[in-house]
Amino acid sequence: MSQITFKSNPMTLNNELIKVGDKAPEFQVVDGTLAPKKLSDYDGKIKVIATFPSIDTPVCQMQVREFNKRAAEFSDDVVVLGISKDLPFAQARFCGAEGIDGVHTLSDYQNASFSLNYGLHINELALTARSVLIVDKDNIVRYFDLVKEQTDEPDYNAAVNALKEIV
């Protein structure tokens, strides 16, 4: 099992982490209207998947805002997905209040399909770990960055540079 920290306290993840080169597993989450969404719904697109523990915390909010800002620079072949276990209503409230339209927030609250399949379920908190994945049009993981200290932001520039190499 992988180890991360939350406020310097050791935490463990549920399973073996997804790795660069892996075929991205299918998952089922819901959008802000409770409509089911799956990885396959985004076939033909490069997926930037930004995961975070809770939209109601400052670092998670900064992460969604930053990816929303950067999404404007991405080509039409790229979709940005923000996945957490927040209720979809909380995600929609935040995005609506902030004018977030470049990140499609998705909730993994129903069955943790995403976080369990990708090894990102924090056992002690039952939340999704902060990470950034880039999945290409063939659903191969091309970039993966697990943020070791969950109260830190991801390396946005590294993710964008990796995306530029894929596009």
One of 60, 81, 129, 146 is an active-site residue; which one? 60
Quickly list DSSP for 84-153: ESS-HHHHHHHHHHHT--SSEEEE-TTT-HHHHHTT-EETTTTEEPPEEEEE-TTSBEEEEEE-SBTTSP
Q: How far is CA 121 from CA 3, 26, 64, 136, in A?
A: 11, 16, 19, 23
60 belongs to the catalytic site: yes
Query: What is the set of active-site residues?
Result: 60
